[in-house]
Amino acid sequence: MSEPFIRFRDATKDYGAVRVVESLNLDIARGEFVSLLGPSGSGKTTLLMMLAGFESVSAGSILLDGREINTLPTYKRNMGVVFQNYALFPHMTVAKNVAFPLDMRREPKAATAERVRKALDMVQLGHLADRLPSQLSGGQQQRVALARALVFEPRVVLMDEPLGALDKQLREQMQLDIRDLHRRLGLTIIFVTHDQDEALTMSDRIAVFNQGKIQQCASPRQVYDHPANRFVAEFIGETNLLEGQVQAVTDGQVTLALKDGTSVRAQGVAGLRAGEAGLLSLRPERIEIQEGTAAEADNSLAGEIVDSIYQGDHVRVVIATAFGEIIARTGRKAREWPERARVALTFRAADGWVIAP
Amino acid sequence: MIRGRSLRAFALVAPLMAYLALFFIWPLLTVITQSVSDPSVSRVLTRTAAEIGAWDGTGVPSAQVQAAFRADIVANTDDMAMGDVTRRLNSSKSGFRSLMGKTVTAVRENPDIDLASIDDRWTQTEFWAAIQANVSAYTDAYLLAALDLERDKTGAIAAMPEGTSANATILVRTLWISALVTLCCLLVGLPYAMIAATVTGWKRAVLLGAVLLPLWTSLLVRTAAWMIILQDNGIINQTLMALGIIDHPLALIYNRLGVVLAMTHVLLPFMVLPIYTVLLTVPRNLMTAAASLGAHPVRAFLRVLLPLSFRGIVSGTLLVFMAAIGYYITPALLGGASDQMLSSVIAFYATGSANWSMAAAIGLVLLVLTLLLYAVYNRLSRDPVQAR
């Protein structure tokens, strides 16, 4: 399978003078779960709408299975779409809603009934087939929408913030359900969200969007541990950013001089050169706090406890340093620190990540 | 306290109630009464009317009834009213004209004379039966006539002879023109409402304004405007002739075309607004959802948008139809002789021939028709989702 299943080639979308999606390139393999993650207005939904055929492509092209589909009308694209507001047909029963795509394809009646039953069983709603959508809860409606988008075995399933309207508990359950369906059915899913936890939970790859461009497209682990730039580092998870100057780069190991002259060792993005400015991204949970001065550690920074907040599953500690306030997360069982205690912050070279500022 | 409050509430609605009673309920009752009342015989033969009801219709009525009849003749001083009675009785049973003339003269000379001795027709059952049939103060004759029906000699309902009345023809024509106008409104109004519900901002404002504008203009002005546009040397004919497409004016006015055209224009808002309102409640992405599920735009329209706007379509259709049934000015000014609707017949009876009972009877027919449609409207315009 050399040819990617879906390929965006310099795909561009303009609304009047506003460029919403800019020369975007993205390849998606068959069976992959790709999340499009970004703040609202970053172009992720527009990209999905172009793929579904709801929006035209201003420039560039979209290829499906090697064929350009720029001008193919939506109803011929054979893509299942799940919308945030469910978009169920209010005048049809649950079963009729799910049968709709099969009716449109003029499938035989008996086969349709059987497939509708299976699809509803798949989302555990077989017992509600004769209800109207308005008689269902939000989570049930979204499961109906899911069944409707899957029942005709589409080539791709597109989801536009499908869980945005659900409460937290239901959302987490649905995340696991969708992840499970993806694995069981081998679906190709493109999932738009602004919720990073959702993207991290379900995706094979996450494409992080900002201002109409993909900032980074990689596995959840890669995106979190090795963000490509400052936007990704700040958008996904929480991080501490420390300014400095790159002193040396050897085999991916970066030596960075912080503002007060402290030298730290860390890993870093490709393309850093000695003498240039660098930004150290340090995840709060990778920092260890020790009393007084540090014992053996790759890197150590001096600081003073400002606050220590118990959060149930972890303790959040705020430390004042020469580089501004640093946030650290320590385990639930770690000690709580008295205010103004002088401490040393340590982290392994493998846990620091240097990006271009 | 409670009583004071409810009294205050009643005082607040009292003007409304008084208004409704005075200008709505009372005239309505008057019209209904007018359409079935027929006082010409009962006014003169008051005593007879009171007595003859007990007669069983065999042989001749008792002496008591005959005495009452003589007393009525003696008491009457209005020859014109007696003439009305004679005419009415004669139309039920011929022979009454000479009989009544003879009887009135004889009874005035001798109030206690035996009726049978004046004329032996008073011994025949049919003549007394004719009096019994006509003394009632109420009649269904006008209502039947409004539908081109009458009672024949035996009292059964039968069609009027061909050519004597055209009410039924005009009623059918009224329904037909109303149906045509409704269809035209639907054909124009449905796409119009859909476009208005799709666009936003100033485009929507312009579309809605354009459809509402006729509502804010006088009906007479609008009709006059159509006369200017459609007449032989009007804008359309002038333009077509200037372009050389036609060499003599098209007949656009004083015929069915002009009536339907102008009525469609006037009634269009009543079609567009209900459909538009219903369409606003339909989520915008249902059509895109249908497309993503493989529905061709036409099928998506038929399966999704049309059923969901059905309530609005029913409302609009019935509103337009009910309003069209009662149209008067537009057909009168833009139609020919064969395009007049039921309202013009009512106007003819009310102002032309001062036959208020006939005007009221036809009005009642229109009212009943409209009420029936309203009942249908009420049933169909229920929310199909909630009605299930």
CATH, residue A312: 2.40.50.100
Rounded to 5 degrees, φ, ψ at B143 are -60, -40
* B-interface mutation test, from A74, A81, A130, most B Cβ less than 10 A away: A74
> Is residue A158 one of the residues assigned to a domain?
yes
User: Could you tell me the pTM of the whole model?
Assistant: 0.74
Quick one: DSSP state of residue A129? T
Quick one: DSSP state of residue A35? E
- How do beta strands A189-193 and A205-210 pair? unpaired
> Is residue B110 one of the residues assigned to a domain?
yes
Are A207 and A104 found together in one domain?
yes
Using a 10 angstrom Cβ sphere, with 0-12 exposed, 13-18 middle and 19 or more buried, the burial of residue B329 is: middle
Are B179 and B58 found together in one domain?
no
Are A219 and A311 found together in one domain?
no
Say yes or no for a CB contact (<8 Å) between A91 and B297: no
**Hunting for tokens 């309203």 — which residue is that?**
B374
| Domain final residue, candidates B85, B120, B137 | B137
Are B208 and B338 found together in one domain?
yes
How many separate domains does chain B show?
2
| Domain final residue, candidates A231, A252, A283 | A231
Q: Which of B198, B192, B196, B384 is nearest to B285 (CA)?
A: B198
Are B175 and B323 found together in one domain?
yes
Are A244 and A333 found together in one domain?
yes
| Domain final residue, candidates A231, A256, A274 | A231
> Is residue B278 one of the residues assigned to a domain?
yes
Are B178 and B82 found together in one domain?
no
Element of type H or E holding A113: helix A109-122
Are A217 and A330 found together in one domain?
no
Q: Which domain holds residue B197?
A: 167-387
> Is residue A224 one of the residues assigned to a domain?
yes
Say yes or no for a CB contact (<8 Å) between B290 and A100: yes
Are A211 and A336 found together in one domain?
no
**Hunting for tokens 């006015």 — which residue is that?**
B253
Report CA-CA distances (Å) from A118 to A122, A307, B200. Answer: 6, 55, 41
Chain B residues within an 8 Å CB radius of A103: 303
| Amino acid in position B251 | A
| Domain final residue, candidates A186, A203, A231 | A231
Chain A residues within an 8 Å CB radius of B297: 75
> Is residue B1 one of the residues assigned to a domain?
no
How many separate domains does chain A show?
2
Are B47 and B121 found together in one domain?
yes
Q: Which domain holds residue A263?
A: 238-355
Say yes or no for a CB contact (<8 Å) between B308 and A87: no
Name residues whose C-beta falls within 8 Å of residue B208's C-beta, 6 or more positions apart in sequence.
B196, B276
Of B285, B294, B295, the CB nearest to A83: B285
Are B127 and B179 found together in one domain?
no
Residues in chain B: 388
Distance between CA atoms of A38 and A43, rounded to whole angstroms?
8
Are B281 and B180 found together in one domain?
yes
Under 8 Å between Cβ of B271 and B317: yes
Residues in chain A: 357
CB of A130 less than 8 A from some CB of B: no
Q: Which of residues 273-302 of B touch A (CB under 8 A)?
A: 283, 285-286, 288-297, 299-300
Strand order in the sheet with A299-310: A288-291, A342-347, A299-310, A314-321, A324-331
End-to-end CA distance of chain B: 44
Are A186 and A253 found together in one domain?
no
CB of A83 less than 8 A from some CB of B: yes
Strand order in the sheet with A156-160: A79-82, A156-160, A189-193, A33-37, A205-210, A213-218
> Is residue B158 one of the residues assigned to a domain?
no
Under 8 Å between Cβ of B304 and B342: no
Are A132 and A45 found together in one domain?
yes
| Domain final residue, candidates B137, B152, B187 | B137
> Is residue A1 one of the residues assigned to a domain?
no
CATH of the domain at A79: 3.40.50.300
Beta bridge partner(s), residue A36:
A192, A207
Tens-level pLDDT at each residue, chain B (388 residues): 567 788 888 889 999 999 999 999 999 999 888 888 888 888 888 888 888 888 888 888 888 888 888 888 888 888 888 888 888 888 778 888 888 888 888 888 888 888 888 888 888 888 888 888 888 888 888 888 888 888 776 778 888 887 777 888 899 999 999 999 999 999 999 999 999 998 888 999 999 999 888 788 888 888 888 888 888 888 888 888 888 888 888 888 888 999 999 999 989 999 999 999 999 988 888 999 999 999 999 999 999 999 999 889 988 999 999 999 989 888 988 888 888 898 988 988 888 887 888 899 999 988 998 899 888 888 876 655 444 3
Are A224 and A243 found together in one domain?
no
Are A74 and A205 found together in one domain?
yes
ipTM above 0.85, yes or no: no
Name the token pair of B343.
Answer: 């309202």
Are B241 and B309 found together in one domain?
yes
Q: How many CB atoms lie within 10 A of CB A250?
A: 8
CB of A77 less than 8 A from some CB of B: yes
* A-interface mutation test, from B286, B288, B292, B382, most A Cβ less than 10 A away: B292
Are A48 and A68 found together in one domain?
yes
Tens-level pLDDT at each residue, chain A (357 residues): 457 899 999 999 999 888 999 999 999 999 999 999 999 889 999 999 999 999 999 999 999 998 999 999 999 999 999 998 899 999 999 999 999 999 999 999 999 999 999 999 988 899 999 999 999 998 899 999 999 999 998 989 999 999 888 888 888 888 998 999 899 888 999 999 999 999 999 999 999 999 999 999 999 999 999 999 999 999 999 999 999 999 989 887 899 998 888 889 999 888 888 888 999 999 999 998 888 776 677 888 889 999 988 888 888 999 999 888 999 998 877 777 888 888 999 999 889 999 988
> Is residue A187 one of the residues assigned to a domain?
yes
Are B194 and B276 found together in one domain?
yes
